[in-house]
Amino acid sequence: MDCLFCKIVSGEIPSKKIYEDDLVIGILDINPNGEGHTLIIPKKHYADYKELPDDLLVHIYKVADKISDKLEEKLQKHRVSFIFNYLDAQEIKHFHLHIVPAFGKEITKSQDEVYELMKEE
């Protein structure tokens, strides 16, 4: 399979990983719409949200809640959007949830600075 996110999950393509468990990873978006813009990606390939098992979808939202709490604590972001795209809006056909803090606000920290604040200890 030639899926960008599957290659990131396998480690074939590097990423700035800030979260990982048995089911998902959380990485900083390479083209962020705000400081701390994070993607939660299931480790198993699902083309879109309609393929996700209910328990995995619940897990993804619990992880999103943890990451949004960490964004608030580490980056003082008090406004966060959860977004997933579907059909033609979905550029990469591997389900992923965007966590976008302070959408549309000016970015003042580099991705490396955000990564140092957000990476797992």
Q: Long-range contacts: 4-11, Cβ < 8 Å, 24+?
A: 4/92, 4/94, 5/41, 5/45, 5/92, 5/94, 5/96, 6/45, 6/94, 8/41, 9/41, 9/43
List the catalytic residues.
96
